Amino acid sequence: MEIKIRSTSSLSAAEQSYIHDWAGKIFAGQDMGLEWANGDWQVLAWEGDELASMVEIVERTGKVGDQPVKLAGIGGVATWPAFRRRGLATAAMQKAMEFISVRLDAEFGLLVCDTQKIPFYGRLGWQLVDESLLVIEQPGGKMDFPSIIMVWPCQEGKEWPVGKIDLCGPPW
């Protein structure tokens, strides 16, 4: 397995199309009728010439209460069915976590997940946030997006602030 982190803007049109089609097959029917943010970075785990697993990272300054917070949004975490249960998503997430804390110097990683994924992210050090309401932007304006939110402090001793979370853009 080889894991590479690439800026989305550095990917060729063919590479972007391949990743888009790959993710589209895994996430078919899960868009919830929302507009989603495009990732700024792609963590790509390859088995030979096949994309086996991926994580998308969105760089954004959001708000918690009235406080700006430098976020690294984690989304698009997926493993192709033939490659599941081999630790590829774990390895890709660990690489992403190192990248967001060292290279991006984010304050927190933030992800939205369903209840079945809480144990997976919890084993990696992600913590549930008491506030279960995000504010997101969509073409029609801002809207509330009730969801399960998990954060990971990228800096030692950093405490998640209290307040409503505004992603200041579309969700990831």
Domain map of the chain by residue range?
Answer: 2-166
The span from the CA of 78 to the CA of 25, in Å, is 11
Correct CATH for 2-166 of 3.30.70.270, 2.60.20.30, 3.40.50.720, 3.40.630.30? 3.40.630.30
Backbone phi, then psi, for 14, in 5-degree steps?
Answer: -65, -40
Q: What is the pLDDT of residue 132?
A: 62
Measuring CA to CA, which residue among 92, 90, 10 is closest to residue 55?
92
3-state SS assignment for residue 94:
helix
46 token code pair = 């390859």
pTM of this prediction?
0.93
pLDDT in tens, 126-170: 999 987 678 899 999 999 988 899 999 998 888 999 999 999 999
Q: What is the pLDDT of residue 75?
A: 95
